[in-house]
Structure 1
């Protein structure tokens, strides 16, 4: 049942952390105690094609408390942080109208930044422009597009690595669609959905060695639970490899295995390593980009939950150095 508290109508809880850190279990515990609604803030768990490989909540967990923004996007869609922010705004308003505590959980730093800082106001890119840029990328190569970008948007070209296919293509799409560079759009930001004072934010920070061990075990568990069959169905769709869903951790390596290029053991090694590297980047990103998140060890998380139930105040500790 929803919490009977006036604070619910203006508050939210944000639970972030690296992959495999235990965020979903923590969010489920808080939602059960408060009658809250869990809102996905993971950029890969939005895709309906990727339930197993992204470790989405199980159907049983989703039935236990309300879950929103999980598996609601097709893998063929180039889903953006801006599109997620628009969806999240609707869910936030719905939760508050029902007097439910919204609990955002995930590991996508840009999604949490959209919530608390806002995003740039880049308009949607017309499909024909996106397709044109992608076709040139395949035909001419990433170096040619980077050279083109240097002439049209020097600032973006300078900060991007010459072989960063995804970001180079994105920068060119924006220039072609709007006549303005990405840095220009970034200066015109949209307001945050959750201004300071409207949320409690946690970054779940387990011991690194323990986390990496959990990542390895979980990858094997996902394979046993049908991840390979899931990716086989995805590969059969022959989607653009630059689409976000096609770059989810473990997906490229498993597709290479499905095509006969590498063994399943080799794909597992690559998938585990890619996931560990991503977790390391998550630690770094949140430390520098979102210092307002309180860092909590896994064993302290239960105590943190009891302090964020509406009606209770807490003092903030500084993030871990």
Structure 2
């Protein structure tokens, strides 16, 4: 069977992924498919750096802003949605271009995921209620008492992953670590070309800071004010959007604005560092570009992509 071509444009936040994906889509008649776990929601478009109206008008964009903020989009759910969009792109004679910084999303569609059963909503709610009651440190200790292998892998500060490990253990009687050792299911068979943007840290960090400043100038504070008025559950994925917690703290009178901005920029830099580490060690790149995307890089990148597309 001849595999159909598909592209991935990955890298840390503020590395220029969206701009590169758009340029590739325009050059190669492609469809940009979102692979960012925050941009899938229809809330906080500024803070999550969703593509602009102009960008969306310049090339087809899919899976952006498709879910309300109160929903949970698992990697498996996103992988199924992405597979549908890839098939639609191929059927239309277009090139699917997946772009985003959520590594697990990309892994779901490129390699498949462990066959963990769906978790009943009651079990999920109970896990999150217990976490809220006990706090992260105590909850992590409770998890370690039942599932030491999985607890050892988890950062006690990562509420979402802690709750996930607990709910899987509760619902299935097996550790999430055991499930992760099972053969993976799903994924899309394609001739993948994976392009990773990995700029040097000083330049990437500077871009993180300047982009957040631009978000503030564009109205990010008002966006967070409106979002907070929805009074959504604090453990929903969208509440993890970079900058939301710090700006919400300012709106609640807990931080002066300058300190909130500084803290949000620091959180963004920390996240970009973690993403860069993940992509360097977990994603098998066809091409790594150690610079921020710019117009001067297009010729070299386009040549590599063209060679890939011509390879049967």
Give the corresponding residue for 2:164. 170
Deviation at 1:163, TM superposition (A): 4.4
Give the Cα–Cα distance (whole angstroms) in 1 for the partners of residues 94 and 112 of structure 2.
Answer: 23
Alignment partner of 2:301 out of 301, 304, 307: 304
Alignment partner of 2:265 out of 250, 272, 277: 272
For the 8 Å contact 1:150–1:158, the answer to whether it is kept is yes
Give the Cα–Cα distance (whole angstroms) in 2 for the partners of residues 151 and 301 of structure 1.
Answer: 53
Give the corresponding residue for 2:197. 204
Change (3 A) 1:207 1:155: closer
Q: TM-score, normalised by structure 1?
A: 0.89
Q: Does 1:71 align with 2:65?
A: yes
C-alpha distance after superposition, 1:100-157 (max 9, x if no partner): 1001111111122222222112222222211111112222233443333234323212
Change (3 A) 1:302 1:123: farther
Change (3 A) 1:184 1:259: same
The 5 A counterparts of 1:215-294 are: 215-294=208-287
SS in structure 2 opposite 1:99?
coil
Aligned length: 306
Give the Cα–Cα distance (whole angstroms) in 1 for the partners of residues 223 and 79 of structure 2.
Answer: 27
Give the Cα–Cα distance (whole angstroms) in 2 for the partners of residues 176 and 282 of structure 1.
Answer: 30
Give the corresponding residue for 2:80. 86
Give the Cα–Cα distance (whole angstroms) in 1 for the partners of residues 136 and 155 of structure 2.
Answer: 10
SS in structure 2 opposite 1:273?
helix
Q: Does 1:139 align with 2:137?
A: no
C-alpha distance after superposition, 1:15-61 (max 9, x if no partner): 11111111111111111112210000111111110211011100111
Give the Cα–Cα distance (whole angstroms) in 1 for the partners of residues 79 and 18 of structure 2.
Answer: 20
Across the aligned residues of Structure 1 and Structure 2, the Cα RMSD in angstroms comes to 2.0
Runs (5+) with no aligned partner, structure 1: 1-6, 315-321
SS in structure 2 opposite 1:25?
helix
Change (3 A) 1:151 1:229: same
Alignment partner of 2:146 out of 133, 145, 152: 152
Give the Cα–Cα distance (whole angstroms) in 2 for the partners of residues 271 and 94 of structure 1.
Answer: 38
SS in structure 1 opposite 2:167?
helix
The 5 A counterparts of 1:6-21 are: 10-21=4-15
Change (3 A) 1:205 1:110: same
Change (3 A) 1:295 1:105: same
For the 8 Å contact 2:8–2:99, the answer to whether it is kept is yes
C-alpha distance after superposition, 1:222-252 (max 9, x if no partner): 1111211111111111222222110111011
Give the Cα–Cα distance (whole angstroms) in 1 for the partners of residues 228 and 124 of structure 2.
Answer: 21
For the 8 Å contact 1:204–1:301, the answer to whether it is kept is no
SS in structure 1 opposite 2:98?
strand
Give the Cα–Cα distance (whole angstroms) in 2 for the partners of residues 189 and 42 of structure 1.
Answer: 25
Give the corresponding residue for 2:34. 40
